């Protein structure tokens, strides 16, 4: 009787594939933010955005995001991430960055001095309120607490 040959290559490939899928899920699971004295960085999966406080023009709450064309990104269940373009700005190259962890909660709308926009909320609504308060202080020019 012949022995059954173990295909170790395929076993390793399956394990590596499962690990990569798990890491991709963990990276897109929520918005990862880093607050620094001069800027804030937002990371969500493959989407990365650096926001300088000096470039902020307006910080406000919005209930709904306006209709937009998705250039790249995704929206699934209550999440939406990626680079979009507003319908009214289809003639310009002005991009709108969306980092929304829950469409049903309020979102922070950030308008920069070059008129580009960013919509953001976090998984926890209290963290979103704290982030909004921090951004309001930064807009007014007060130092980081």
Q: What is the CATH number of the domain that holds 67?
A: 2.30.29
User: What is the rounded distance in angstroms from the CA atom of residue 25 to the CA atom of residue 45?
Assistant: 8
- Please give the pLDDT value at position 94: 79
Calculated CA dihedral for residues 118, 119, 122, 123, nearest 10 degrees: -140
Considering the entire predicted model, what is its pTM?
0.78
Residue 14 lies in a domain: no
pLDDT reported for residue 20: 93
Spans of the chain, pLDDT less than 70: 1-3, 89-92, 142-145
pLDDT at 62: 95
- Please tell me the total count of domains within the chain: 1
d(CA 135, CA 55): 12
Q: What is the pLDDT of residues 95-108, one digit of tens each?
A: 899 999 888 999 99
- Domain assignment present for 111: yes
Q: Does residue 4 lie in a domain region?
A: no
Task: Tell me, yes or no, whether 94 lies in a domain.
Answer: yes
| HSE-up of residue 20 (Cα within 13 Å, Cβ side) | 6
Structural domain includes residue 77: yes
Give a yes or no: residue 22 inside a domain: no
- Domain span at residue 109 reads 30-140
Task: Look at residue 12 and tell me if it is in a domain.
Answer: no
Would residue 16 count as lying in a domain?
no
Number of helices (H) and strands (E) in the chain: give both, helices first: 2, 9
């Amino acid at each position: 009787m012949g022995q059954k040959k173990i295909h170790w290559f395929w076993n390793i490939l399956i394990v590596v594939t499962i690990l990569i899928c798990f890491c991709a899920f963990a990276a897109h699971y929520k918005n990862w933010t880093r607050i620094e004295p001069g800027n804030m960085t937002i990371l969500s999966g493959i989407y990365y955005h650096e926001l300088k406080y000096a470039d902020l023009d307006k910080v406000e709450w919005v209930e709904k995001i306006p209709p937009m064309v998705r250039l790249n990104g995704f929206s699934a269940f209550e999440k939406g991430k990626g680079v979009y373009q507003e319908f009214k700005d289809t003639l310009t190259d002005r991009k709108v960055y969306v980092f929304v962890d829950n469409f049903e909660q309020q979102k922070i709308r950030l308008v920069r001095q070059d008129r580009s926009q960013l919509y953001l909320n976090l998984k926890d609504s209290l963290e979103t309120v704290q982030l909004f308060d921090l951004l309001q202080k930064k807009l007014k020019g007060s130092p980081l607490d």
